Amino acid sequence: MNRDEMIEAVELAMDNVHDMDTPWSRYAEAAVDALSWRPVTDRPRDRSFVVVTDGNARWVDTCTFDFAWPPKFGSHVATHWHPVHDLPSTAA
Domain shared by 2 and 41, yes or no:
no
In terms of residue numbers, what domain contains 41? 37-92
Omega before 83 cis (within 30°)?
Answer: no
Domain shared by 44 and 87, yes or no:
yes
User: Per the confidence metrics, is the pTM higher than 0.85?
Assistant: no
Q: Are strands 48-53 and 80-83 parallel, antiparallel or unpaired?
A: antiparallel
Domain shared by 43 and 79, yes or no:
yes
Alpha-carbon distance of 68 to 63, in angstroms, equals 7
Q: What's residue 60's pLDDT?
A: 87
Q: What's residue 45's pLDDT?
A: 80
Q: How many structural domains comprise the chain? A: 2
Residue pLDDT, tens place only, 23-82: 777 777 777 777 788 899 988 888 788 889 999 998 888 877 666 788 889 999 999 988
Alpha-carbon distance of 77 to 4, in angstroms, equals 30
Does the CA dihedral 8-10-12-15 come out positive or negative?
A: negative
Domain shared by 48 and 4, yes or no:
no
